[in-house]
Amino acid sequence: MTPRGWAFVVLGLLVVAGAAVALATVPLHRPPAPRADQTAALATLPADQVARARAFRAELRPIAYGGLAAGLLAALALGLTPLGAKLVDLVARPFGGHWIAQAVLGGLAVVFLLELVAVPFAAWRHTVVSAYGLSTQGWGGWAADLAKSYAVGLVIGGAALFGFWAVVRWSPRWWWAFGAAGAAALVALLSFVLPVVVEPVFNRFTPMEQGELRTSLLELAERDGVPVRDVLVADASRRTRAVNAYVSGYGRTRRIVVYDTLLREATPAEVTGVVAHELGHAERDDVLSGTLLGAAGAAAGVIVLYLLGAWSPLLRLAGVDGMGRPQAIGLIIAVVTVAGLVAGPWQAFVSRRVEARADAHALALTGDPAAFESMQGRLATVNLSDPDPPRWEYLWSASHPSAVERIAAARAYARGER
């Protein structure tokens, strides 16, 4: 069988494997959250705070969708015209057009240009978030975080670009197989290593002081069968008023992380409810499941790119003679961008199902629907989220159930509905 034939076979196996993982890990049943309870929940929230949250989201909407459109147009301009290929050649010219210069420097130049397109929208968003008091970060801190993210991207992106095209040169006929394996391995590495290595670049973490809350959170994790190494407090207040908590790491590196803002805004029972939700993700190994799906998707994506290399009209548009050339980085990014937009609603749907299951886990673990309900109201108020967003936007991009859905689920749980 030819390499292309094997590529189709492996792609089919990856699709089947991804579907199997999804069926095994994505909940088919969603806990009840009756619309009548949602409507009642919305009526109980302070009207002025709901109006403020909706005004805030309305101001963010043109930024989010304008940035999405600008990024898509830029990616298509660099990928479906010879501009991307010419930029790669231009950057590599001082280095004699060496393939490493094309792959790493040229590739990073294309990526950086696309990042520059997003900067005005990010700055616009920071202006709005600051105006509403959600951000506590000045422009200096905002710029420093942006620079840190670029530095992290430079290291990871440079290594990935070099590794990918080194494999292409080493195995011109079978690079798709090694590239798919490498992409899957990179997803797994980033999933389990980034929380431990990269999180400290953006936040400072200190052990939660000894006391009743810390003890209760550790006991909660033990009762849930989720071993954690420690309970840490993140200094999120340096940049935001938003409240949150999460369980970070895997295995021996797993720890509960609580925003200092959450400790200031919420009651101990509410903090416990948020942590119980996050423990639900850990207890169900949602990170592992997501990593497996992401790894399968990344591997399949590499194979699809290889197969698209036989589509001559697409290559002619990009001004390249094959997907295995560094000049094709613009085309690759364009394909990935379009694929991401198409897959976005499906990913949001899956995420909402998983988050709803974690909510149900929190309710069962704590047995305190009243605290869960009050916490959802507090999250919506402090984080300025629309408690009942427009349906089209909810279906398109919402990664979590809405606040009124979560409150309705808590009320249904309290009535014994499961």
Catalytic site positions: 278, 359
Say if residue 281 carries a ligand binding annotation. yes
Q: Are 214 and 240 contacting, i.e. CB atoms less than 8 angstroms apart?
A: no
Residue 355 and residue 377: Cα distance in Å, rounded? 17
* Full DSSP string of 287-302: HHHHHHHHHHHHHHHH
b/e per residue, 15-24, with b = 16+ CB within 10 A? Answer: eebbeebeee
Q: Are 326 and 23 contacting, i.e. CB atoms less than 8 angstroms apart?
A: no
CA dist list (Å): 243 to 201, 379, 406: 20, 7, 17
Say if residue 361 carries a ligand binding annotation. no
Q: Which two structure tokens, joined as six digits, stand for 401?
A: 């159930």
Neighbouring residues of 365: CB distance < 8 A, sequence distance ≥ 6: 220, 223, 224, 276, 279, 280
- SS3 label, residue 351: helix
Say if residue 417 carries a ligand binding annotation. no
Q: Which residues are annotated as a binding site?
A: 277, 281, 355
Q: Which residues are annotated as a binding site for Zn(2+)?
A: 277, 281, 355
